[in-house]
Amino acid sequence: MAYEWIKALHVISVIAWMAGLLYLPRLYVYHAMVEAGSVRAVTFKLMERRLLKAIMNPAMIASWGFGLAMLYMNPGLLSEIWMMIKIVSIIGMTAAHMVFGKMRKELEKDRARKDSAYRIWNEAPTILMIIIVIMAVVEPI
């Protein structure tokens, strides 16, 4: 019964983390299109900081924690190829999270890139999410 509760909390955490990973780069696109120092730019900075610090960081930590707890309870999963692909993809998702954090710091300093750079990064979590869900649900390998 404990495993099912941990799994449910893991899924909830992942949903919250993914929501942020999909929304934050979209905020960056809009932020890059406004004038630095404007009221809108200040609003975007606030939204980006709160999303990352209050939702995404705790959700990422919880996702990792509950995921590792499930592996601890079921270590045989580590011998499955699909699980290794999933773990590598999760590491990629975490790396994207860290890149988004660095982007936020640059935007905070009014050093925005072209909005197209943020649009491209917006696709990374989607691609990784597709791989992770297929590995976790279908277990194709």
Tokens of residue 124, six digits: 């990374």
- Measured from the Cβ of residue 107, the count of other Cβ atoms closer than 10 Å reads 22
What pLDDT, in 10s, does the model give residues 3-49?
A: 999 999 999 999 999 999 999 999 999 999 999 889 999 999 999 99
How many domains, in total, are found in the chain? 1
Distance CA 23, CA 120 (A): 13
- Residue 108's domain spans which residues? 2-138
76-111 tens-digit pLDDT = 999 999 999 999 999 999 999 999 999 999 999 998
